Amino acid sequence: MKTKNILVLCTGNSCRSQIAEGWLKNYSGGNANIYSAGIETHGVNPKAVMIMKEAGIDISGHTSNHINEYKEIEFDYIITVCDHAKENCPYFPSHAIRLHQNFSDPAKAKGSEEEILNEFRRVREEIRMYSEKFVKENIKIQ
């Protein structure tokens, strides 16, 4: 059975898609190839790294990648995690099943440092639940 290739796509590949990549890798347990990319690259957000570390997942080695870096890969699923990426994604030829789930951008949160971190944690949990459900429904775990 072919290992599934999954692309998580966001605007800047700095927060939401990075968090989703971390959760999807965690839940799929190596039974899928998980990639994340943006239609722009903004670098990995240090707060995303921090709140994922709190949850026991290390994304500190992730890089911010542009969608064009993956045009040679035949994806089985492309998941957009923000409306902007869904609406502005350049044509990406693929037979992949396209899924969309808009998550709030925690990088746009306002308030004290603690309020901002709590927004990152809230979004992390939304993405965690989505990722766990996605893997249960779409990835065969050996």
- Say whether domain 4-138 belongs to CATH 3.40.50.2300: yes
d(CA 2, CA 26): 19
Cβ neighbours of residue 86 closer than 8 Å, sequence gap 6 or more:
80, 100, 102
pLDDT in tens, 118-131: 999 999 999 999 99
Cβ neighbours of residue 112 closer than 8 Å, sequence gap 6 or more:
none
- pLDDT tops 80 at residue 86: no
Q: Where are the domains of the chain?
A: 4-138
Residues with a catalytic annotation lie at 10, 82, 89
Q: How much is the pLDDT for 63?
A: 95
pLDDT in tens, 92-117: 667 899 999 999 999 999 999 999 99
Q: How much is the pLDDT for 92?
A: 66
Percent of the chain with pLDDT over 90: 81
- pLDDT tops 80 at residue 84: no
Mean of per-residue pLDDT scores for the chain? 92
Q: Which range (52-66, 71-85, 99-113) has the least confidence?
A: 71-85
d(CA 83, CA 49): 23
- pLDDT tops 90 at residue 91: no
Token pair for 22: 């971390």
pTM metric for this prediction: 0.94
